[in-house]
Amino acid sequence: MLIDSHCHVLKSEYENPEVVIKKALASGVNKIIINGYDLQSSFEAVNLANKYENVYACVGIGPQNISDFNDDVYQKIKILASRRKVVAIGEIGLDYYWTKENKDSQILVFKKMLGIAKENNLPVIVHCRKAFLDTYNLLKEYNSSGIIHCYSGSLEMASEFIKLGFLLGIGGIVTFKNAKEIKEVVREVNISNLSLETDSPYLSPEPFRGKVNVPDNVILVAKEISKIKGLSLQEVISETGKAVCGKFDL
Ligand code: NI
């Protein structure tokens, strides 16, 4: 089962997201998980998921979209979280790479989102950049599980997240020549702890680096992982697919 476990196929990113979805499903991607990052994109993700059997939605407020957060937004995300095709709260998390100045507000919103996940018994899809310790401690505190999207940390931290019950989301970066650390993580970690993702429209894999990404390219991530780990492509697709289906009850 070939699954793109993290993308943003949304109107704010593409002229016609439904064309992108249909093309991906026709080209062999079996399931697509669309992640919101603010209220509007979360609504849109749910609407798209309702239209296509093999499209699922995640709803939440990401660390780069916390400035509009208030109680009204919180209540609306809470309602969205209970909708039928919503499989996780995401993309949520902490990003100290762009700015550390609003660290406290980032943590506050992240906690609210982890709370919604817990109340609804849902996994989370986590964005974590230069904030591994705080992210780890909060995920542990809330007893969360899910995916660390676009994993970019050390091998040591990777095994800590895996012990908590998280999959590591691997995307286009793994195909970049200079991505030594993530290639090492992929080599060392068991295939059943990885999920495939594109983060479309961002982070296109080679040979499309720098271009607009689409979920179809998830196969290129699978091929690179198969090369690094010395596993057959079929094995990479079926093991990661099984892990994601299990985690998100697909
Ligand atoms: Ni993303």
Exposure string of 93-117, with b = 16+ CB inside 10 Å and e = fewer, is bbbbeeeeebeeebbebbebbbebb
CA of 101 to the centre of ligand 1 (A): 21
Check if the beta carbon of residue 176 is closer than 8 Å to that of residue 155: no
Domain of residue 120 covers 3-248
Length of the chain: 250
For residues 198 and 129, give the distance between their C-alpha atoms in angstroms, rounded to a whole number.
17
Domain count, the chain: 1
CA of 97 to the centre of ligand 1 (A): 15
pTM of the entire predicted model:
0.97
Identify each DSSP E strand in the chain by its residue range.
3-7, 31-35, 55-59, 86-95, 124-129, 146-149, 166-170, 194-196
Q: What is the pLDDT of residues 98-146, one digit of tens each?
A: 888 999 999 999 999 999 999 999 999 999 999 999 999 999 999 999 9
CA of 7 to the centre of ligand 1 (A): 6
Mean pLDDT value of segment 189-217? 97
Q: So what's the pLDDT on residue 99?
A: 86
Burial (CB count within 10 angstroms: exposed 0-12, middle 13-18, buried 19+), residue 4: buried
CA of 227 to the centre of ligand 1 (A): 25
CA of 199 to the centre of ligand 1 (A): 5
Mean pLDDT value of segment 194-200? 98
Q: Mean pLDDT for the chain?
A: 97
Q: So what's the pLDDT on residue 129?
A: 94
Q: So what's the pLDDT on residue 24?
A: 98
Measured from the Cβ of residue 19, the count of other Cβ atoms closer than 10 Å reads 11
For residues 56 and 51, give the distance between their C-alpha atoms in angstroms, rounded to a whole number.
10
CA of 34 to the centre of ligand 1 (A): 9
CA of 35 to the centre of ligand 1 (A): 7
CA of 107 to the centre of ligand 1 (A): 18
Specify which residues 59 forms β-bridges with: 89
Q: What is the pLDDT of residues 32-55, one digit of tens each?
A: 999 999 999 999 999 999 999 999
Using 50, 70 and 90 to split pLDDT, how confident is the model at 68? confident
For residues 173 and 51, give the distance between their C-alpha atoms in angstroms, rounded to a whole number.
30
Q: Which residue has the tokens 């999207």?
A: 149
CA of 62 to the centre of ligand 1 (A): 9
CA of 164 to the centre of ligand 1 (A): 21
CA of 189 to the centre of ligand 1 (A): 22
Return all residues near 49 (Cβ < 8 A) that are at least 6 apart.
Answer: 34, 55, 56, 57, 85, 86
CATH number, domain of 62, equals: 3.20.20.140
Q: So what's the pLDDT on residue 226?
A: 98
Question: Going by DSSP bridges, is the β-strand pair 3-7/166-170 parallel, antiparallel, or unpaired?
Answer: unpaired
